[in-house]
Amino acid sequence: MEIKAFAPAKINLTLHVTGHREDGYHLLDSLVVFADLGDQLTFRPGPELSLDMRGEFADGVPSDRRNLVWKAAEGVGWTGHIDLSKSLPHGAGIGGGSSDAAATLGALVGQGCDIPPELPLTLGADVPVCLKGRAIRMQGIGDRLAAVNLPHLPALLVNPNVQVPTGTVFDALASRDNPPMPEVIPDFASADDCAQWLGEQRNDLQVPAMGVAREIEQVLDELNMTNRALVARMSGSGSTCFALYPTMKDAHFAAYDIGAAHPDWWCRATQLN
């Protein structure tokens, strides 16, 4: 029997670094949403575990025990063949590997596998939030999750085809003890209302990431110059950036403009929620 799963791109609308533990983990306060685009996985039960990579961004992604999909399947005791079609750039701050792992866990639970409680966080700090697959406030080391009601957010995602190592960005962070988001996230009537509130929040990794990859600053400048952009920011530790728009039509027009000017960039209009 063939099992299919979808692994959506994860977008950090905010990312406040609020502390640093002695064991090396950073404490975060982040508003996370998911796109309607992502990777695709297909599972076929069998006697041994194997993984094949394909798709636009398959090159450079391991197809052995180093891959989080393999680790997730192994962690729940499932065996068989997995096809992973990579549509999301890796090392891009949009949780591609974590979302793939979460989609694997979700699919295999439906096949009678049990997820050990500690497994998702062991696979990665973003895996628990990716298991939810909807708007979430993520706090702590990724272990404190609270659902948030947000309107649908028309958006444009842009990546300049530059990978940014997460560890390098955190190493360049000037302060690891910054204010969290407000205690209460308001109810927003529209994307415009949400964008105005987001403009008062931060991604504390954006400035250090720009020091690692100057292309991020260029992407943000280009997004801010698109017609009807409401807010532009980097996601995660980079290098993907996003802008929000009043309508999907606005997002598609912006995608055309930036895509025409920078055909070597990954540029996708999407809806976030």
Q: Active-site residue numbers?
A: 10, 126
Q: Are the C-beta atoms of 123 and 97 separated by less than 8 Å?
A: no
- Burial of 66 by CB count in 10 Å (0-12 exposed, 13-18 middle, 19+ buried)? exposed
* Phi and psi angles of residue 158, each rounded to the nearest 5 degrees, phi first: -135, 130
**Helix/strand/coil (H/E/C) assignment for every residue in 111-170:** CCCCCCCCHHHHHCCCHHHHHHCCCEEEEECCCEEEECCCCCEEEEEEECCCCCCHHHHH
Helix (H, G, I), strand (E, B) or coil at 14: coil
| Helix (H) or strand (E) segment spanning residue 72 | helix 68-75
Return the sign of the alpha-carbon dihedral for residues 119, 125, 126, 131: positive
Closest CA to 223 of 236, 208, 240: 240
Give the number of C-alpha atoms closer than 13 A to the C-alpha of residue 261, restricted to the C-beta side: 14
